[in-house]
Amino acid sequence: MCGIVSYIGKKDPVPILLKGLRRLEYRGYDSSGIALLNEKTLHCIKRAGKVSDLESLIDDSPINGYCGIGHTRWATHGEPNDINSHPHLDHTKKIALVHNGIIENYDAIKEVLKSRGIPFTSDTDSEVLVQLISELYYNSNQKLSFEDAVRAALQEVVGAYGIVVLCEDEPGTMIAARMGSPLVLGVGEGEFLIGSDASPIVQYTRNVIYLDDNELVIINDDNYSISKIDSKNIVTKTLTRIDLTIEEIEKGEYPHFMLKEIHDQRHSISDTMRGRFNLNDGTTQLGGISDYFSNILLASRIYITACGTSWHAGLIGKHLIEEYARIPVHVEYASEFRYRNVIIDSNTILIAISQSGETADTLAAIRKAKELGAITLGICNVVGSTISRETDAGIFTHTGPEIGVASTKAFTAQLTILIMLALKLGRKKNVSKKRGKNLIRALRHIDQDVVSILKISHEVKEVAKHTYEADNFLYLGRGINFPIALEGALKLKEISYIHAEGYPAAEMKHGPIALIDKNMPVVCIAPQDESFSKILANIEEVKARKGIIITITDKINYSLKPLSDYILIIPNTHKHVFPITCSIILQMLAYELAVFRDCEIDQPRNLAKSVTVE
Residue type at 165 in one-letter notation = V
In this predicted structure, what is the pLDDT of residue 246? 61
Give how many domains the chain has, as a whole number: 3
Which residue, of 225, 248, 271, is where some domain finishes?
Answer: 248
Provide the residue count of the chain: 614
- Mean pLDDT over 603-608 rounds to 72
- Mean pLDDT over 99-123 rounds to 91
Q: What is the CATH number of the domain that holds 127?
A: 3.60.20.10
| Residues 365-409: tens digit of each pLDDT | 999 999 999 999 999 988 878 898 899 999 999 888 888 888 999
In this predicted structure, what is the pLDDT of residue 163? 95
Tell me what the pLDDT averaged over the chain comes to.
91
Same domain, 119 and 228: yes
What is the C-alpha to C-alpha distance for residues 498 and 392, in angstroms, rounded to an integer? 40
Q: Which residue has the higher pLDDT, 144 or 593?
A: 593
Same domain, 226 and 327: no
Q: Is 614 within the bounds of a domain?
A: no
356 falls in which pLDDT band (50, 70, 90)?
Answer: confident
Q: Is 606 within the bounds of a domain?
A: no
Closest CA to 126 of 178, 90, 166: 90
Q: Is 560 within the bounds of a domain?
A: yes
pLDDT over 60 at 289, yes or no? yes
CA-based diameter of the chain, in Å?
85
- Mean pLDDT over 330-340 rounds to 93
Catalytic center residues:
2, 609
Q: Is 391 within the bounds of a domain?
A: yes
77 falls in which pLDDT band (50, 70, 90)?
Answer: low
- Give the SS3 label for residue 187: strand
In whole angstroms, how far apart are CA 608 and each of 51, 308, 588?
Answer: 15, 12, 20
Same domain, 51 and 180: yes
Q: Is 404 within the bounds of a domain?
A: yes
In this predicted structure, what is the pLDDT of residue 138? 92
Q: Is 609 within the bounds of a domain?
A: no
Same domain, 212 and 262: no
Handedness of CA 59, 61, 62, 65 (dihedral sign): negative
Q: Which residue has the higher pLDDT, 531 or 571?
A: 571
- Classify residue 180 by its DSSP letter: B
Q: Is 613 within the bounds of a domain?
A: no
Percent of the chain with pLDDT over 90: 66
Same domain, 116 and 169: yes
In this predicted structure, what is the pLDDT of residue 23? 84
Which residue, of 389, 421, 444, is where some domain finishes?
Answer: 444
What is the C-alpha to C-alpha distance for residues 291 and 480, in angstroms, rounded to an integer? 30
Q: Which residue has the higher pLDDT, 47 or 348?
A: 348
Same domain, 31 and 84: yes
In this predicted structure, what is the pLDDT of residue 1? 62
Same domain, 154 and 219: yes
- Mean pLDDT over 129-137 rounds to 94
199 falls in which pLDDT band (50, 70, 90)?
Answer: confident
Which residue, of 444, 462, 488, is where some domain finishes?
Answer: 444
| Residues 5-34: tens digit of each pLDDT | 999 998 899 999 999 888 887 766 788 899
What is the C-alpha to C-alpha distance for residues 357 and 388, in angstroms, rounded to an integer? 7
Contact 196, 358 (CB under 8 A): no
Where helices occur in 74-225 by DSSP H, the ranges are 106-115, 125-139, 146-154
In this predicted structure, what is the pLDDT of residue 400? 84
| Residues 224-273: tens digit of each pLDDT | 999 999 998 999 998 988 876 666 667 778 999 999 999 999 999 999 99
Same domain, 223 and 150: yes
Closest CA to 566 of 594, 582, 544, 547: 547
Residue type at 392 in one-letter notation = D
Same domain, 355 and 499: no
Q: Residue 25 belongs to what domain range?
A: 3-248
In this predicted structure, what is the pLDDT of residue 383? 81
In this predicted structure, what is the pLDDT of residue 181? 85
How many helices (H) and strands (E) the chain has is answered by: 19, 26
In this predicted structure, what is the pLDDT of residue 559? 85
Same domain, 207 and 268: no
Contact 158, 103 (CB under 8 A): yes
Helix (H) or strand (E) holding 411: helix 409-427
608 falls in which pLDDT band (50, 70, 90)?
Answer: low
| CB within 8 Å of 528: residues ≥ 6 apart | 553, 554, 555, 557, 572
What is the C-alpha to C-alpha distance for residues 385 and 381, in angstroms, rounded to an integer? 9
What are the backbone dihedrals phi and psi of residue 96, each rounded to the nearest 5 degrees, phi first?
-120, 140
What is the per-residue DSSP string for 336-368? HHTTS-----TTEEEEEEESSS--HHHHHHHHH
Q: Which residue has the higher pLDDT, 609 or 546?
A: 546
Q: List b or e across 237-248, with b for residues whose CB sees 16 or more CB atoms inside 10 angstroms.
A: eeeeebebeeeb
What is the C-alpha to C-alpha distance for residues 542 and 563, in angstroms, rounded to an integer? 9
Global pTM reads 0.81
What is the C-alpha to C-alpha distance for residues 583 and 291, in angstroms, rounded to an integer? 33
Same domain, 263 and 346: yes
| CB within 8 Å of 402: residues ≥ 6 apart | 261, 355, 381, 408, 409, 410, 609
In this predicted structure, what is the pLDDT of residue 509? 82
Q: Is 98 within the bounds of a domain?
A: yes
Q: What is the CATH number of the domain that holds 503?
A: 3.40.50.10490
Instruction: Give the range among 75-84, 129-138, 504-513, 605-614 with minimum mean pLDDT.
Output: 605-614
What is the C-alpha to C-alpha distance for residues 21 and 151, in angstroms, rounded to an integer? 27
- Mean pLDDT over 556-577 rounds to 92
pLDDT over 60 at 460, yes or no? yes
Query: Using alpha carbons only, how large is the chain's radius of gyration in Å?
Result: 26
pLDDT over 60 at 609, yes or no? no
| Residues 408-433: tens digit of each pLDDT | 999 999 999 999 999 999 999 989 99
Same domain, 232 and 267: no
